[in-house]
Amino acid sequence: MHINDMQRAACKRASASGLPFALWRDPFGTSFTALVSTSQPELAPVFGGAPLPGFAMAPFDTEDGNQAWTLPADVLIDADGTRYRDGAALISAPVTPAQSRLTDPATPTPEVLLAPLGETPAPTARDSYMARVARAVETIREGGCDKIVLSRIDPRDLPAGRDLLDMAEGLARLHPHAFVCLVSSQATGTWLTATPEILLASDVEGLRTMALAGTQWPEPGTEIETLTWPQKIIDEQALVADYIRDAFAAEGFLGVHETAPYTVRAANLCHLRSDFRAPQGDGAALGRLLDRLHPTSAVCGMPKAPAMQFILDEEGPTRRFYTGYLGPRDLDGTTSLYVNLRSASVSGRQIFLHVGGGIVAASDPATEWQETVEKTKTIAAVL
C-alpha cells in the first residue's frame, strides 16, 4: 500500500506553502486519497448547509456538533486520477492557477514533509493521571455520572529524517481495519490518526454508526472469539449503544437496525462493538443527529453534560481535536466521519500521543493507566 508520487508531491507543496491538506486510507481500502486546499478551512455545517466537497474536522468541545472546519477539495487525487473543484463539482481540469501549481511537475517539491510548528501540550504524569481516575471514580460512585472518559498526553520526539507521509503509509500497512489519516491546516494543527471508530457515515445506502467501548490487550496470537468480557465492560458498551439508539429515536429515524455486541480487533487491542444502520434522512435531520452523537459517550461519558464538565475541569482544553471527528464530506455522494482516536498531534519535530479510557464505578487507576500505555502503541509503532 503506497502513497503515489503525485499525492506525495501535492501534499509536500501544500505544506511548504502553508496550505491545508488531508491524506487518508479508508478501512480495508487498497489506496490513499489526497486532498489539497488552495485556501484555509471554513467553519461550516457538515449536513444541511451548502454542498462543499472537502474534508471535515471538528474539535472535542464544540457548541454545535454539526459545525466543523472543512478543507475544500480544491485538488483531489485518488486511484482514479486527479480532479479539481469548481464550486460544488469536481472536474478533470484545473480551474485556477493555484490548482494548477499544486499538480504541475515543474513546481518545486520539498524532499521531506515536516509539520509546521503548533501547540505543544504538556505531558500527563502517571501519578497525576491515576489521581484523576480516582476522582472520576469518586464522582461516579457519588451519583454524579455513570461514566467519564479521561485522556492524557505522551510527547515523543520524531526520529530524525522521518517523513510524516512515510509514517501514514506505515500505519496503513499495520492497521488495515482503521481509517488512517494525516491532516494539516492552520485551524486544526497537524494530526496523524489510525482510528477504528465510525461516528456517522452517509451514502446512497443509508446511514452507519457504531457503539465501540471497552478495551483488552490479549497476548499475540490469541483468537478473539475466545475472549470474555467482564460485566463492567459489557455495561460500559451498553451505555454507548443506548445513547445511539436514543439519538436516532429523538430525531425521528425509523427502521434502525442494530447488531448484537461482538469482539473486534484494533491493532494490539480488542473492543466490544455493535453496529447500527438506518435509512437516509434529510440534511437538517442529519445535522441534528450528528449534533446529538458528537461527542459520543465512548469519548465523553454519560450523562454527557456532567461528564463533559468534569473533563473540562480536569483536563482543560488539552484535547483540542482529539476525540473530535474527521473525515471526507460530500465526496461523490458520501460523507464518512470518524472519531479522532488512536491519534497524535504533531508540531515540528515533536509528536504528542493522545490516549484515554472510559472510567466507571469499578475502574482501577493502575489498570486504567496501563490501558492508555497499550493505546500509545498504535501510533508509536511507526516511530
Q: Encode pLDDT of 342-382 as tens digits.
A: 999 999 999 999 999 999 998 999 999 999 999 999 899 88
Q: Encode pLDDT of 42-97 as tens digits.
A: 899 999 999 999 999 999 999 999 999 999 999 999 999 999 999 999 999 999 99
| pLDDT, position 211 | 93
| pLDDT, position 39 | 96
CA distances from 205 to 47, 51, 335 (A): 17, 19, 12
Nearest to 48 by CA among 329, 368, 325: 329
Most confident of 114-118, 127-131, 143-147, 228-232: 127-131
Q: Which range, of 102-116, 127-141, 145-159, 167-181, averages the lowest pLDDT? A: 102-116
Greater confidence (223 vs 288) lies with: 288
**Distance from C-alpha of 357 to C-alpha of 372, rounded to nearest angstrom:** 7
| pLDDT, position 35 | 98
User: In the numeric block, which cell numbers belong to residue 208?
Assistant: 452507519
Please, what are the domains in the chain?
5-380 (3.60.120.10)
Global confidence as pTM: 0.95
**Distance from C-alpha of 191 to C-alpha of 184, rounded to nearest angstrom:** 6
Contact 129, 123 (CB under 8 A): no
| pLDDT, position 114 | 81
